[in-house]
Amino acid sequence: MLGLMQDRPLLISSLVEFAALNHGDGEIVSRTVEGPIHRYTYKDCAVRSRQLAKALEKLGVEKSDRLGTLAWNGYRHMEVYYSVSGMGAICHTINPRLFPEQIIYIINHAEDRYIFIDLTFLPLIEKLIDHLPQVEGFIIMTDEANMPETKLSNVYCYENLMATADDDYQWPAFDERTASSLCYTSGTTGNPKGVLFSNRSTILHSYVVCTMDGLGLSTMETILPVVPMFHVNAWGIPYAAAMSGAKIVLPGARMDGEALYELMENEGVTLSAGVPTIWMMLLGYMKENNKKFSTMKRTVIGGSAVPKAMIETFHREYNVNVVHAWGMTEMSPIGTVCNLKKKHESFSLDQKMELSLKQGRSVFGVDMKIVDGAGKELPWDGKAFGNLLVRGPWIASGYFKAEGGSVVDDDDWFDTGDVATIDPDGYMQITDRSKDVIKSGGEWISSIDVENEAVGCAGVAEAAVIAVPHPKWDERPLLLVVREQDTDVTKDEIIDHLRGSIAKWQLPDDVLFVDELPHTATGKILKIKLRAEYKDYILPTVTS
């Protein structure tokens, strides 16, 4: 017998309309690429999203068409999110940090009909234009006064296009499983693969972002997503903010410490979200300029493991609670969040910070398990580590255009490519990417653990551990370090520091100092490049 509840579809358009009605004066504040701070409300955002949808319809945009965006976090980008997905088309956020060949590849692969471009990215697209024959037009996200000269043809000014339509557009109703947005993973090997989110997956994911055991987003918060809207939809925050009515502050192109700090203070930001590298810059600025937060209470950090030293600095020096989170593009992205349980209330600050090093508990909706090489399920004892598999309603069942074939097994389990432990309370801890783990004499060394400790050593700005071939042990760890400016920390000092927390056999065989480390388009250390560069490196522990 089926229940007698209404089968109303879960649609993205309803988020912005809900916010307009219930949080009509809720603020959306943006640092524009043109310069000034722009502020308006959810009500304005809904009106303009409808207007833009109508203008796009006049332009001939149809359901399931892909429309690209090359844009920072800003109010116009929010409008594009809502209008494109709301009308049943697909918002394809393009990561401008990808290599030009990859950008060409994904625009062509997605078959983007139009591309919305922030002024900053005009030179980039001008360089690529000859390789993008099927794009019908470009919409520059500015007003007439700021329209630049360009060699692109079929160019529209965003505000002029908007002005061609009024706001009486009626959002269509359609199947909630309809695709809503597309985001390509910045895979380190092969071509990027498209993850195709749906209206349904986006709404369900937004609910979770708003739960207290998720990111706890509510109307009481002012959130600043530093994570870009071109990286897994800024972790779903632009949608969840509308669902909760939270004030949202969008930093535009300026993500340097000074600009972020200024926005956080001026706008009363209470919660922020981003990758560790961003916080390194912010904390560096605050230390140098002796700044303190007056409203910031929590910061969600994910995308890469949060170094212990960062958790400690936030807690001890700035009284900001670090909430470690884990996920991936294929998971919309939230999988686990490290919120504490009631029983941890009595923990000392040190114990709480230790727990925050874990990536956290799965949110309702994400099933998780760890398996060994033969696919046998491993216990949740906090010790056994294995390949991490996940499944759930906002986890990919395949890539766009079936690229890469089937990615889930018969029971829908998706292999994340991460290696992890899970403790009896359900807290998951990533020990490595399966490709990055160092296999030394049959034992596994977690590169994340060693990096985490290394970054805690005074004078170390950034660290990466990679496996280097070793005739006796198969692989041994090599530590690559970027020194903090004006410091001369030595190999011995770093090894001494590590000795306190890392087993002797896990200590790096050598430490090399480099000026910088290569990063992927989403800010992760590009280990594949480092491994290639150091594949012939002879460790001092190799005796000939």
Tell me which residues touch ligand AMP (CB under 6 A).
185-186, 232, 302-305, 324, 326, 328-329, 333, 359, 416-418, 430, 433, 522
Q: Pick between residue 333 and residue 508 the one whose CB is nearest to ligand AMP.
A: 333
Provide the minimum distance between the beta carbon of 71 and ligand AMP in the complex, in angstroms, as a whole number.
Answer: 19
Q: Pick between residue 61 and residue 430 the one whose CB is nearest to ligand AMP.
A: 430
Q: What are phi and psi of 25, to 5 degrees?
A: -100, 5
Provide the minimum distance between the beta carbon of 234 and ligand AMP in the complex, in angstroms, as a whole number.
Answer: 12
Structure-block tokens of residue 362:
């799965």
* Candidates 57, 150, 312, 444; catalytic one: 444
Q: Pick between residue 315 and residue 433 the one whose CB is nearest to ligand AMP.
A: 433
Whole-Å CA distances, 241 to 11, 60, 219, 249? 15, 30, 8, 10
Provide the minimum distance between the beta carbon of 344 and ligand AMP in the complex, in angstroms, as a whole number.
Answer: 19
d(CA 195, CA 106): 11
DSSP per-residue codes, 50-98 = HHHHHHHHHTT--TT-EEEEE--BSHHHHHHHHHHHHTT-EEEE--TTS
d(CA 246, CA 422): 33
Provide the minimum distance between the beta carbon of 145 and ligand AMP in the complex, in angstroms, as a whole number.
Answer: 37
Among positive and negative, which fits the CA dihedral 445, 303, 378, 339?
Answer: positive
Q: Which amino acid is at 510?
A: D
Query: Quick check: helix, strand or coil at residue 537?
Result: coil
Q: What are phi and psi of 27, to 5 degrees?
A: -95, 145
330 catalytically annotated: yes
* Candidates 93, 185, 313, 431; catalytic one: 185
* Candidates 297, 341, 439, 535; catalytic one: 439
475 catalytically annotated: no
DSSP per-residue codes, 392-406 = -TTS-SS-GGGTTS-
Q: How many CA atoms lie within 13 A of 29 on its CB side?
A: 19
Q: What DSSP character marks residue 314?
A: I
178 catalytically annotated: no
Q: Pick between residue 181 and residue 304 the one whose CB is nearest to ligand AMP.
A: 304
Q: Which amino acid is at 328?
A: M
Q: Pick between residue 117 and residue 430 the one whose CB is nearest to ligand AMP.
A: 430
Q: How many CA atoms lie within 13 A of 420 on its CB side?
A: 29
d(CA 474, CA 252): 47
d(CA 123, CA 150): 9
Q: Pick between residue 140 and residue 273 the one whose CB is nearest to ligand AMP.
A: 273
d(CA 248, CA 232): 17
Provide the minimum distance between the beta carbon of 82 and ligand AMP in the complex, in angstroms, as a whole number.
Answer: 23
Report whether the peptide linkage leading into residue 333 is cis, meaning its omega lies within 30 degrees of zero: yes
DSSP per-residue codes, 197-252 = EEHHHHHHHHHHHHSTTTT---TT-EEEE-S-TTSHHHHTHHHHHHHHT-EEEE-B
In terms of Cα–Cα distance, which of 150, 181, 172, 164 is closest to 67? Answer: 181
439 catalytically annotated: yes
Q: Pick between residue 98 and residue 264 the one whose CB is nearest to ligand AMP.
A: 98
Provide the minimum distance between the beta carbon of 330 and ligand AMP in the complex, in angstroms, as a whole number.
Answer: 7
Angle (CA) 477-480-485 rounded to 5° is: 155
Provide the minimum distance between the beta carbon of 131 and ligand AMP in the complex, in angstroms, as a whole number.
Answer: 25
Q: How many CA atoms lie within 13 A of 518 on its CB side?
A: 12
14 membership: H or E segment, kind and range: helix 13-22
Q: Pick between residue 16 and residue 525 the one whose CB is nearest to ligand AMP.
A: 525
Q: Pick between residue 221 and residue 451 the one whose CB is nearest to ligand AMP.
A: 451
Provide the minimum distance between the beta carbon of 523 and ligand AMP in the complex, in angstroms, as a whole number.
Answer: 9
Quote the radius of gyration of the chain (alpha carbons, Å).
24
Provide the minimum distance between the beta carbon of 520 and ligand AMP in the complex, in angstroms, as a whole number.
Answer: 7
d(CA 329, CA 341): 27
Provide the minimum distance between the beta carbon of 463 and ligand AMP in the complex, in angstroms, as a whole number.
Answer: 14
Q: Pick between residue 159 and residue 403 the one whose CB is nearest to ligand AMP.
A: 403
* Candidates 176, 221, 330, 451; catalytic one: 330
- What are the catalytic residues? 185, 330, 439, 444
